[in-house]
Amino acid sequence: MDREFIKSLIPHRDPFIFVDRIIEVNNSSIRAQLDVKLDMPFFRGHFPKKPIMPGVLTLEALAQTAGLLIALSRNGGNGAGRIFYLATANVKFLKPLEPDSVLELNCRILKEFGGLCQFEVEACAGKSRIAAGTIVLAEAKGSSE
C-alpha cells in the first residue's frame, strides 16, 4: 500500500507525512516503512555536520502508523476520516537514525478504552532498534462517522 493510499486514510500531508508504504497489516498490528533521505528538510538543521532524524519525528512516524492501523482495522477497513491525536508516549530512543536508511515502523494495539487506543511501538533500521515503547492515541471529538 503506497503513499497515495496512505494519504486517503490519515489527514497528514507533505511535508509532515512520515509513512511511505504499508508492508503488512491485520486487525491488531501493522508494519510500515519510511525512506529516510538526506534531502528531507529537517536534516539541514539537525545536525548539519552529522545529520540524524529528530526523535520526535520518529515518534510522529510511529503515531501516524498507529493511526493507519486504526483506519484499516475499524468499521470493516473503512475507518478513514477519523482524526486521532497523540495523547501520551513512553518511548525510549535507543540509537540515532542517520539518512539513507529505511525506517521500519511496527505498531500493535494493546487495548482500547473509550476514545483511546494504546499501542506497543517499535522503530528499526536494518538490524538496529531505533526506538521502542508505548503510545496512546485519542480520538478527536466529532471525528467519528
- How much is the pLDDT for 143? 63
Q: Which residues form the catalytic set?
A: 46
Taking residues 65-78, report their average pLDDT: 83
Cβ within 8 Å of residue 108, ≥6 positions away: 28, 29, 119, 120, 121
Q: H/E/C letters for each residue in 49-71?
A: CCCCCCHHHHHHHHHHHHHHHHH
79-96 tens-digit pLDDT: 567 789 999 999 999 999
95-108 tens-digit pLDDT: 999 999 999 999 99
Confidence of residue 1 (pLDDT cuts 50, 70, 90): confident
Residue 145 has pLDDT above 70, yes or no: no
Confidence of residue 78 (pLDDT cuts 50, 70, 90): low
Q: Which of 103, 15, 25, 109 is nearest to 59 (CA)?
A: 103
Cα 30 versus chain centre, distance: 10
Quote the percentage of the chain above a pLDDT of 90. 83
Where along the chain do its domains lie? Answer: 3-139
- How much is the pLDDT for 83? 87
29-69 tens-digit pLDDT: 999 999 999 999 999 899 989 999 999 999 999 999 999 99
The domain covering 3-139 belongs, at the CATH homologous superfamily level, to Hotdog Thioesterase (3.10.129.10)
